[in-house]
Structure 1
Amino acid sequence: MAKEKIVLAYSGGLDTSVILKWLKETYDAEIIAFTADIGQKDELDGLEEKALATGASKVYIDDLRAEFAKDFIYPMFQAGTLYEGQYLLGTSIARPLIAKRMVDIARAEGATAIAHGATGKGNDQVRFELTAAALAPEIGVIAPWRLEAFREQFPGRAEMIAYAEKHGIPVTASAAKPYSTDRNLLHISFESGMLEDPWFDPSAEENEDMYVLSVSPERAPDQAEYVELTFEKGDCVALNGEALSPLEVMERLNELGGKHGIGRVDMVENRFVGMKSRGVYETPGGTILFTAHRKMESLTMDREVMHLRDSLIAKYSQLVYNGFWFAPERLALQALVAESQKNVSGVVRLKLYKGNVIGAGVKSPVSLYNPDIATMEADPSQAYDQGDATGFIRLNALRLKVSSGVEQSKN
C-alpha cells in the first residue's frame, strides 16, 4: 500500500526541521515539504537540499511574493488595519496565503493531512487551521506541538537543538541567540528568548545586530529623503512617478524605510489564545505605505465614509490577527472597504528622517478639500455662511441643556 502523504509548512528553521524528521518517523508517511517564498530572501538558500536531506520525499518552494503583495497586503492596507494601535500584522496576513497554497498542494498530491510547526500557545496554529477549515474541511491537520508525545520528547528548545545536532540537521538557533524570527515581504518579527523579558531593551546599541531590515534611527542618515507615492483607488501604483507593481512598491519602500530607521515596533500584545506576548517587529516599507495611504484618504475620502470605515478598523484587525481572512465577515468588510477607496487617488509626498515619516504634501484631482471654503479669510464662494453655525450649535446643545437641567434638579 502507498504511504500516507502529509504536506508540511516548512521554513527550514529549528522547529519545522525537527518536525519533518519526527513526522516521518512517527507516522511512517511521505512528507512533502512546502515553503512559500513571500520575501524571506537568503533564508531560502539551500532549503530544498536541506528538506530532502532531512527526509522529505518532495519539496515545493513557490514564489508567492506578487500574490502576497497584491491580494493580501494591499487589501489589508486599504482597510487601515492596525492591531492594538501598533502592529501592522506582518505575520498574521501571511498565514492565510501559506495555508491556502498548502491546501492546493495537498489536493494535487492526494495528501490526507497538512502539518505545521506552530506551538499550542501561539496564534499561527489558529490561522493555519481556520484557513484550512474554510477552504478544505475534508483535509486533516497535524499540529505536533499539541500532541503529548511530541511535547514529552521536546519540552523546550534546548531538546530540539540537541535532537537536530544528533540527526545532523543544521539549524541557526543556538543558546546564544535563541529568539525566533519570521520574515516576509511586509516585515520581520522577533520573539521568545531574551525578548520574553519585557524590561529587556532590544533598541540598545549592544543589541543592534539583532535587526535585519533597518538601521537604528541613531545610525540613519543625517540628511532627510523625500519620496512621492501615487495612489489609484486606494492602492499605491507608483513611486516618484515610476509605475510599479505592488511587489515592487513593497521592495522599494522596504529599502527606503530600512535606510532611514523606520518601522521598528516593540510591543506586548494580546494573543487570540488568551495570553500576552512580547514581540519586536521591523516593518519599514509598510510603515511608509500606511502613513501615505492615510494622508491620501484625508484629502479624498468623505467624512462619514471615513468614520464608518475607521469604526471597523479594530474589528478588521482582529479578524486578520485571529485568522479569519477567509471568513464571510472579513469578505463582507472588504467589499465595504473597496467601495470606500474608489476616490482615494492622487500623490502623497513624505519626508523620511531618522525613524520618522513626515507628511510633506498631498494633492489629488478628486480632492474634497476646498481652500475657498476652509479659508479664514472672506469666503469668495459664499458656500458657507458663518451665521448658520448659531442654529447648528443650538440644536446640538439642546440635549446637553436638558440633561444638565435634570442633574441640577436632583440637587
Structure 2
Amino acid sequence: MSQVKKVVLAYSGGLDTSAIIPWLKENYDCEVVAFVADVGQGDAELEGVEAKALASGASACYIADLKEELVADYIFPTLKTGAVYEGKYLLGTSMARPIIAKAQVACALEVGADALCHGCTGKGNDQVRFESCFAALAPQLKVIAPWREWDMRSREDLLNYLAERNIPCSASLEKIYSRDANAWHISTEGGVLEETWNQPNEHCWAWTKDPEEAPDAAELVSVKVEHGQIVAVDGEAMSPYNALVYLNKKGIEHGVGRIDIVENRMVGMKSRGCYETPGGTIMMEALRAVEQLVLDKECFDFRQTIGLKFSHLVYDGRWFTPLCQSLLAAADVIAQDVNGEVVLKLYKGNVTAVQKRSDNSLYSEEFATFGEDEVYDQSHAEGFIRLYSLASRIRALNEQKK
C-alpha cells in the first residue's frame, strides 16, 4: 500500500467518499486529491463540496463542469442509436460514467497522481464501468476500490469511523433510499423497493409530479430534429444541454418519464429501481417519430439492432472501445436524413407524437391512400407475393410428396 504516493478520488461529498479520504491516508499513507464531476446533479449536491473534501483530509478538490459535454458528446450520440436497456431503461447512470472517468483520469495525470479511487460497492455495475474506462484510458494507474478492501459494512460503521477521527459529516444513520442524479435522470433504489411486491410510494419519486396530480390540460411541445439530433424546441434554437433542461421542466410538470424496473446487473444479480427521465423520454419519442417517416424497413431494422447492441455496451461500461466507435459511426450514417419536426402531447405521464413531418419522408399519401389512386396497381402484388412466399410453397410441396 505504501507504493501509492498520490491518489485522485471520485468524490461526491456523501458518507462513503467522506470516509474514503481518511481511510486512504491511513492505509496507503498517501496524498488524496478529491475530484468532483458536475454532471447536472444539482446545486444542492455540489454546495459546500470543496469544504467537505478538505475537512475530510483531501489536499485539494477539483470540480469539473461536464454538463454540456455529457449531453452533447455522450447522451445525444446514444440517442441516435436508439439504445434502451432491457426495453425500458434510458441509461441515465450508465452514460455519465465514461465522462466522469475520463475527466478523473485527466485530473490524475495533470496532478501527477499514481492511483485512482472510486467509492463503488462490490455489488454494483459502476465498479465495472469506472474500472473498464480507467483500463482503456490510463492502464498504468493503480485502481483502489475501498469497498472491496476495508472491513466496514454499514452506514453505522462509516459514521463511527468519521466520529472517531473528529471529521464532520452531515449524513445520518438512516438512509432509506440510494439516489443517483445527473442532467438526464435520477434513480432511486432501496427502501420499500427491495420487496418487488411493494408498490412505489411518493418518496420513490424525486423529480416528477404524480401523473394523477398532473395538469388536466395537455400541453404541446414542438421539437426540431436535424441529422438525428434535437436542435430547437418550441421554435427556439438550443444547445443539447439547454434543450434537455427545457424539456425536463416540461416533463416534470406532466409526470413524464417514470419507470419501475427490475433489471439484470452485470455482476449477475437483479436489482429494482425507480428511474425518472422526463426530458429524455420526450427526446426519445421525438427522434423515433421522425425515424418512422424517414427510414425504410431494412434501415430501421438495422438501427434497432444497433440500439440493442449499444444499450448493452453503454450499460457494461465499454464506451472507450473500437466497437463503440463503430456503432456510433453506423448510427451517424443512418441519422443523416433524420430531419424533421414533431409536435408532442404531454398529458398525465404520457408523451405522444401527434404531428410529424420531414422533407425526407418516405411516406406518400398518394401511395398509402385507401381511396382510388393512379400510382399503385394492386394486381402487381400477386407476383410479388408469389416470389416472396416461394420457399414456403416449395417446402409444402415437398411435404405433400412425402
1:81-120 matches, within 5 Å, as: 81-120=83-122
State the 1:180 CA deviation.
Answer: 1.0
1:39 paired with 2:35, answer no
Q: CA RMSD in A?
A: 1.7
1:398 paired with 2:390, answer yes
1:247-258 matches, within 5 Å, as: 247-258=241-252
- Unaligned stretches of 5+ residues in structure 1: none
Which whole-Å CA distance do the structure 2 matches of 1:273 and 1:333 have between them? Answer: 24
| Equivalent pair of 2:204/2:274 in contact (CA under 8 Å) | no
1:135 paired with 2:137, answer yes
Q: Which of 328, 331, 340 pairs up with 2:325?
A: 331
State the 1:347 CA deviation.
Answer: 0.6
1:294 paired with 2:288, answer yes
| Equivalent pair of 1:38/1:184 in contact (CA under 8 Å) | yes
| Equivalent pair of 1:218/1:354 in contact (CA under 8 Å) | yes
Q: What letter is aligned with 1:394?
A: R
Q: Which of 152, 155, 158 pairs up with 2:156?
A: 158
Aligned to 1:271: 265
Q: What letter is aligned with 1:208?
A: E
Which whole-Å CA distance do the structure 2 matches of 1:408 and 1:277 have between them? Answer: 52
Larger deviation: 252-261 or 361-370? 361-370
Which whole-Å CA distance do the structure 2 matches of 1:45 and 1:100 have between them? Answer: 23
State the 1:210 CA deviation.
Answer: 4.0
Aligned residue pair count: 399
Which whole-Å CA distance do the structure 1 matches of 2:381 and 2:345 have between them? Answer: 37
Aligned to 2:28: 27
1:358 paired with 2:356, answer no
Q: Do the aligned partners of residues 398 and 302 (structure 1) sit closer, same or farther apart at CA in structure 2, a change above 3 Å counting?
A: closer
Residues 197-252 of structure 1: per-residue CA shift (max 9 Å, x gap): 222221xxxx3144222111011111110000001100001101100000001101
Which whole-Å CA distance do the structure 1 matches of 2:173 and 2:213 have between them? Answer: 28
| Equivalent pair of 1:112/1:140 in contact (CA under 8 Å) | yes
Which whole-Å CA distance do the structure 2 matches of 1:270 and 1:169 have between them? Answer: 37
| Equivalent pair of 2:339/2:360 in contact (CA under 8 Å) | yes
Q: What letter is aligned with 1:180?
A: S
Which whole-Å CA distance do the structure 1 matches of 2:123 and 2:399 have between them? Answer: 50
What SS class does the counterpart of residue 312 from structure 1 fall into?
Answer: helix
**TM-score (norm. length: structure 1):** 0.93
Which whole-Å CA distance do the structure 1 matches of 2:69 and 2:60 have between them? Answer: 23
Q: Which of 210, 217, 220 pairs up with 2:214?
A: 220
State the 1:409 CA deviation.
Answer: 5.6
State the 1:346 CA deviation.
Answer: 1.1
| Equivalent pair of 2:4/2:28 in contact (CA under 8 Å) | no
Aligned to 1:236: 230
Residues 297-333 of structure 1: per-residue CA shift (max 9 Å, x gap): 1112232211111122221100000000111111101
Q: Which of 291, 299, 324 pairs up with 1:305?
A: 299
1:284 paired with 2:278, answer yes
Residues 2-50 of structure 1: per-residue CA shift (max 9 Å, x gap): 9811000011112111112211221111111111101011211111111
Which whole-Å CA distance do the structure 1 matches of 2:272 and 2:102 have between them? Answer: 28
State the 1:408 CA deviation.
Answer: 5.1
Aligned to 2:15: 14
Larger deviation: 113-122 or 154-163? 154-163
Percentage of matched positions with identical amino acids: 50
Following superposition, which runs of at least 4 residues in structure 1 exceed 6 angstroms of deviation? none
Q: Do the aligned partners of residues 32 and 298 (structure 1) sit closer, same or farther apart at CA in structure 2, a change above 3 Å counting?
A: same
What SS class does the counterpart of residue 389 from structure 2 fall into?
Answer: helix
| Equivalent pair of 2:187/2:275 in contact (CA under 8 Å) | yes
Larger deviation: 296-305 or 68-77? 296-305
Residues 136-182 of structure 1: per-residue CA shift (max 9 Å, x gap): 111111111122xx0x2x1223322333444443244542x332111
Q: What letter is aligned with 2:392?
A: L
Larger deviation: 117-126 or 192-201? 192-201
Larger deviation: 268-277 or 161-170? 161-170
Which whole-Å CA distance do the structure 1 matches of 2:333 and 2:108 have between them? Answer: 35
Which whole-Å CA distance do the structure 2 matches of 1:287 and 1:188 have between them? Answer: 13
What SS class does the counterpart of residue 33 from structure 1 fall into?
Answer: strand
Aligned to 1:314: 308
| Equivalent pair of 2:20/2:119 in contact (CA under 8 Å) | yes
State the 1:89 CA deviation.
Answer: 0.3
Residues 30-72 of structure 1: per-residue CA shift (max 9 Å, x gap): 1111111010112111111111111111101111000001000
| Equivalent pair of 2:34/2:60 in contact (CA under 8 Å) | yes
**TM-score (norm. length: structure 2):** 0.95
| Equivalent pair of 1:90/1:186 in contact (CA under 8 Å) | yes
| Equivalent pair of 1:35/1:62 in contact (CA under 8 Å) | yes
Q: What letter is aligned with 1:195?
A: L
Q: What letter is aligned with 2:299?
A: V
